[in-house]
């Protein structure tokens, strides 16, 4: 590429960034205090079905971050129940950060994506109203070649929260990380915790 072509390429990159196309800043959580509490909230992927209690992802994340991580996962939970349960958990633990991993059971039980969207968005808003930051993880639809529904990205954009859109899908489609068709094994939960830790570390959120 000659100098003129390089100059044109650089100019194009600058223009697209100024227009906000393809150069969006990564959405991050703010720095956490050294005594911060993290609330890991969700269903069986949070409670740790498929592994021992000491090797579920909240326990490993606590080990990695040095922060207190509460395992508030309930196996089989749908988002309507999670929406009812969340305010009490927020009041009990006053977390600085909520890790929200919900939606798989809604899709398995065909409860409808509109209901899923509404419940998840309400949970995010409730947390924000309680001065709790939110990191959301997307869950894939239960199909052979599945990906998370668009609603996760839409909620994240509407509420201004960070979203990890790929990690759960990647783990659920890799047999070495599975204990059964739905749940992770010890290695899978460790990879999940490591990915969350890396996200927080990259954002400069960890004390």
Average pLDDT for 179-200: 97
- Residue 22 has what pLDDT? 41
Point out which residues pair with 61 in neighbouring strands.
none
> pLDDT tens digits for 141-171?
988 667 999 999 999 999 999 999 999 999 9
Q: Is residue 13 part of a domain?
A: no
Q: Is residue 14 part of a domain?
A: no
Total domains in the chain come to 1
> pLDDT tens digits for 109-136?
999 999 999 999 999 999 999 999 999 9
Residue 195 belongs to domain spanning: 37-202
> pLDDT tens digits for 5-56?
434 433 443 443 444 444 446 899 999 999 999 999 999 999 999 999 899 9
Q: Is residue 48 part of a domain?
A: yes
Q: Is residue 88 part of a domain?
A: yes
Decide: helix, strand or coil at residue 8.
helix
Alpha carbon distance 12, 6 (integer Å): 10
Burial of 86 by CB count in 10 Å (0-12 exposed, 13-18 middle, 19+ buried)? buried
Alpha carbon distance 116, 112 (integer Å): 6
- Residue 44 has what pLDDT? 97
> pLDDT tens digits for 54-71?
999 999 999 999 999 999
- Residue 41 has what pLDDT? 99
Q: Is residue 3 part of a domain?
A: no
Q: Is residue 30 part of a domain?
A: no
Alpha carbon distance 23, 41 (integer Å): 31
Hey, which bits of 74-151 come out as E strands? 97-101, 133-137
Angle between helices 186-202 and 57-65 (to 10 degrees): 40
Q: Is residue 157 part of a domain?
A: yes
Alpha carbon distance 157, 140 (integer Å): 18
- Residue 25 has what pLDDT? 62
Q: Is residue 73 part of a domain?
A: yes
- Residue 185 has what pLDDT? 97
Cα angle 189, 195, 201; round to 5: 135
The CATH number assigned to the domain holding 97 equals 3.40.50.1110
């Amino acid at each position: 590429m000659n100098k003129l072509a390089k100059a044109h390429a650089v100019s194009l990159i600058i223009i697209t960034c100024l227009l906000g196309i393809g150069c969006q800043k990564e959405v991050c959580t703010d720095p956490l205090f050294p005594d911060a509490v993290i609330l890991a909230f969700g269903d069986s992927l949070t409670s740790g079905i498929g592994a021992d209690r000491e090797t579920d992802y909240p326990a490993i994340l606590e080990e990695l971050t040095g922060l207190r991580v509460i395992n508030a996962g309930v196996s089989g939970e749908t988002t309507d129940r999670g929406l009812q349960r969340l305010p009490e958990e927020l009041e009990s633990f006053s977390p600085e950060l909520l890790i929200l991993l919900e939606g798989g059971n809604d899709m398995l039980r065909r409860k409808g994506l509109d209901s899923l969207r509404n419940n998840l968005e309400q949970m995010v808003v409730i947390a924000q109203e309680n001065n709790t930051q939110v990191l959301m993880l997307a869950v894939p639809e239960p199909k052979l070649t599945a990906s998370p529904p668009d609603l996760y990205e839409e909620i994240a954009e509407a509420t201004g929260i960070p979203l990890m859109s790929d990690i759960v899908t990647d783990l659920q489609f890799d047999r070495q990380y599975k204990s059964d068709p739905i749940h992770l094994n010890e290695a899978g939960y460790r990879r999940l915790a490591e990915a969350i830790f890396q996200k927080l570390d990259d954002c400069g959120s960890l004390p």
